[in-house]
Structure 1
Amino acid sequence: MLKIHGVTRSRASRIIWLCHEIGIGFEQIPVIQAYRLSDPDAADAPLNTRSPQFMALSPASAIPVIEDGPLVLRESMACNLYLARKYGQPYGPADAPEDALMMQWSFYAATSIEPDALTLLYVYGPGKALSSGEKASVENAAERLKRPLAVVDEHLSGQNYMVGGRFTVADINMAEVLRYAQCYDPLMEQFPAMNAWLTECQIRPAFQKMWKTRLAEPE
């Protein structure tokens, strides 16, 4: 059985969402991020990213990691693209061009959107009082995101999904990155096509199943 190492409050969420869409059974090993623990090296610390048994799988000390038989695979985007290819249609590529496009949008999300989107997630909160430095950080991140989000919005203005006219792993990978910026309405409301698509992604039963599990975990 497929094993997913990582709590759902991590990038493991995108793998779990895909598994629910496809209907893949999996065992989840709830490895928690070391930075969330007061003493991750304590003898009674829960399994975490600095635990020796986990670092044997992930020398970078990062979740998620999947095990699929003898294959140990790190990096959530790589994990999702692998699983989509293995299990095929409708969530994976039908041919080489679709495969390339799914990689293109996944890498675009990871490189052009995720870093600044994470700044919004970690620094901004509706109603939260921000210091002048935090406010500048949020405003700068939002400004940098305008160009890549405009690219996504324009793409989705003419079609319902990222690739192939159907819901695929490319939608999951992009939606899970954009979720980080979703808290910042002044930015997101500028991109109506992207927002409508993101809402449709997040009302899918597989996303809701993953989200319920995520909310049940400690913050």
Structure 2
Amino acid sequence: MLTIYGVSRSRASRNFWLLNELDLEFEHVPVIQAYRLPDPAAESAPFNTQSPGFLSISPAGAVPVLRDGDFVLSESLAMNLYIAGKAGGPLAPANARETALMEQWALYGATSIEAHALAILYAHSEGRAKSPEGEAEIAAEVARLRRPLGVLNSHLRDHGHVVGGRFTVADINMAEIVRYAHAEPGLIAGYPAIAEWLAACHARPGFKAMWEKRLAEPA
């Protein structure tokens, strides 16, 4: 059985969403991010990313992490590709070309979209969005997103989904990256194909179940 180390308020949300879609049983070991704790080394601290027991699994001290027998894998996007590939079915790549395309889009999302979308999210969540400095930061990140979101919008307009013309793990990976940009009102609406696709992704029961658990976790 697969074991997932992490919490829903982390990039493990991608993995939990996929596991919901696949209806796979798995073991969940909650591991909270050390930066969210006043003293992660305290005796009373919950199991966290700086706990020796977790560092023995993940020397990088980051969640999520997957364990499958004696195989350990980190990085949420790679974990999802592994889970889907092992499970098979319509969410997995159907052939080597689809495998390559799913890897391509995961890398594109991670390198061209995620950091800028996260910067926008943090500006809002940390209360800086309405300050002159925050507004300038968000405007700069929105400008940096214009090209990659335009590329994704054109692709979704022409194909409907990220890979294979059907809902797959590639959609989950990309949707969880693009979701961060939702923090800026009106940004996603400026890319109609992305907006329609993301709404459909978020309407899926697998996402809703993950999101309900995420909201139930302490912030």
Q: For the superposition of Structure 1 and Structure 2, which TM-score range results when normalised by the shorter chain?
A: over 0.9
> Could you say what secondary structure the match of 1:15 adopts?
helix
> Could you say what secondary structure the match of 2:155 adopts?
helix
Instruction: State the shift of 1:124 in Å.
Output: 2.0
Distance 1:171 1:186 in 2: 21
Distance 2:119 2:80 in 1: 24
Corresponding residue of 1:64? 64
Normalising by structure 1, we get a TM-score of 0.97
Corresponding residue of 1:102? 102
Work out the number of aligned pairs and report it.
219
| Amino acid in structure 1 at the alignment position of 2:67 | E
Distance 1:70 1:85 in 2: 18
Corresponding residue of 1:44? 44
Q: CA RMSD in A?
A: 1.4
Residues 124 and 138, structure 1, Cα contact 8 Å, conserved in 2: no
Corresponding residue of 2:205? 205
Corresponding residue of 2:80? 80
Residues 181 and 188, structure 2, Cα contact 8 Å, conserved in 1: yes
Residues 202 and 208, structure 2, Cα contact 8 Å, conserved in 1: yes
Spell out, residue by residue over 1:6-47, the C-alpha distance to the aligned partner (whole angstroms, 9 max, x if none).
Answer: 000000000010111111111111100011001111011001
Unaligned 5+ runs, structure 1: none
| Amino acid in structure 1 at the alignment position of 2:102 | M
Instruction: State the shift of 1:122 in Å.
Output: 0.8
> Could you say what secondary structure the match of 1:170 adopts?
helix
Instruction: State the shift of 1:159 in Å.
Output: 2.1
Residues 4 and 64, structure 1, Cα contact 8 Å, conserved in 2: yes
Distance 2:116 2:52 in 1: 31
Instruction: State the shift of 1:128 in Å.
Output: 6.7
Distance 1:199 1:181 in 2: 14
| Amino acid in structure 2 at the alignment position of 1:20 | N
Corresponding residue of 1:33? 33
Corresponding residue of 1:166? 166
Corresponding residue of 1:153? 153
Spell out, residue by residue over 1:188-211, the C-alpha distance to the aligned partner (whole angstroms, 9 max, x if none).
Answer: 121001000000000100000101
| Amino acid in structure 1 at the alignment position of 2:122 | Y
Q: 1:78 to 1:129 in 2, by over 3 A?
A: closer
Corresponding residue of 1:112? 112
Spell out, residue by residue over 1:91-147, the C-alpha distance to the aligned partner (whole angstroms, 9 max, x if none).
Answer: 11110110011111111111100000001111125x976322222111111110010
Identity %: 54
Distance 1:128 1:67 in 2: 38
> Could you say what secondary structure the match of 2:161 adopts?
coil
Distance 2:116 2:93 in 1: 29
Normalising by structure 2, we get a TM-score of 0.97
* Greater than 4 Å deviation, 4+ residue runs: none
